[in-house]
């Protein structure tokens, strides 16, 4: 179980779309919306963990076309998010919100779905869970071990990204973001476009071969 914890922590600490999404949300949005986004990402990780445990990665290996379609769809979504961010031309302005205004701007289902889609379309998550994590989880044969591993993955994921959101939600981070948000969004957009492009290309290659 310790090996699983170490592998998963190192996997989370490798910057990817999930990290950029949470850090940007924390610096530019409300804590509530950010937490909803983290819940969505955690649900995505739970899905990939379940897929690895159920051995569905074998299905991807035997049906590369299906894997390719999923990668292309995921890459397209990431590229779309990147396109929107690259087009950003204004810096963010932070204004104190009343409880009523905060509630109006909060849409739990929407924010959770956005976080979920970001994770499900994450090329790193696909590769990570279909290779590294599947190798670690394959060594577990007892049901209680798999249940404990699943719970550990979910909890560590949530609290790691909550810590990231806490750091980036500090006033100094918000001040920095409000001053340079246009450029930060542009860079984040290019990162999303890159990951999206790589995922689309990989998906096409999967289908061709």
Measured between alpha carbons, how far is 176 from 168 in angstroms, rounded to an integer? 10
Contact 41, 161 (CB under 8 A): yes
pLDDT attached to residue 39: 97
Measured between alpha carbons, how far is 137 from 139 in angstroms, rounded to an integer? 5
pLDDT attached to residue 106: 67
The residue assigned the tokens 């290019």 is 190
The residue assigned the tokens 């990402």 is 41
51: how many CB neighbours lie within 10 A of its CB?
18
pLDDT attached to residue 132: 56
Give, for all 209 residues of the chain, the pLDDT tens digit: 666 777 677 667 666 788 888 988 887 778 889 999 999 999 999 998 887 777 665 666 677 777 778 778 777 877 887 888 788 776 655 555 455 544 555 688 999 999 999 888 776 676 667 655 655 555 566 778 878 888 988 999 999 999 999 988 887 877 776 677 778 778 878 877 887 888 788 888 878 87
pTM higher than the cut 0.85: no
Contacts of 53 (CB under 8 A, 6+ apart): 137, 140, 146, 149, 150
Contact 123, 195 (CB under 8 A): yes
Question: Per-domain residue ranges for the chain?
Answer: 2-6+17-63+94-184
Q: Which of 3, 77, 68, 1 is nearest to 44 (CA)?
A: 77
Measured between alpha carbons, how far is 189 from 34 in angstroms, rounded to an integer? 18
Q: Which of 164, 118, 139, 173 is nearest to 2 (CA)?
A: 139
Q: What is the token pair recorded at 81? A: 């998010």
pLDDT attached to residue 46: 92
């Amino acid at each position: 179980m310790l090996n699983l914890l170490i592998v998963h922590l190192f996997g989370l600490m490798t910057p990817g779309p999930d990290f950029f999404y949470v850090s940007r949300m924390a610096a530019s949005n409300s804590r509530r919306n950010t937490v909803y986004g983290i819940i969505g990402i955690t649900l995505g990780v739970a899905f990939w963990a379940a897929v690895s445990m159920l051995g569905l990665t074998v299905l991807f290996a035997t049906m590369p076309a299906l894997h390719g379609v999923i990668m292309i769809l995921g890459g397209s979504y990431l590229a779309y998010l990147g396109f929107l961010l690259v087009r950003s031309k204004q810096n963010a302005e932070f204004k104190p919100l009343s409880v009523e205004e905060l509630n109006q701007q909060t849409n739990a289902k929407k924010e959770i779905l956005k976080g979920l889609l970001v994770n499900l379309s994450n090329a790193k998550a696909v590769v990570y869970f279909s290779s590294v994590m599947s190798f670690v989880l394959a060594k577990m044969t007892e049901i209680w071990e798999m249940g404990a591993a699943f719970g550990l993955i979910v909890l560590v994921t949530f609290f790691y990204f909550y810590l990231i959101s806490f750091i980036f939600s500090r006033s100094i981070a918000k001040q920095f973001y409000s001053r340079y948000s246009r450029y930060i969004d542009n860079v984040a957009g290019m990162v999303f476009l890159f990951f999206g492009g790589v995922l689309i290309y990989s998906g096409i290659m999967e289908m061709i071969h």
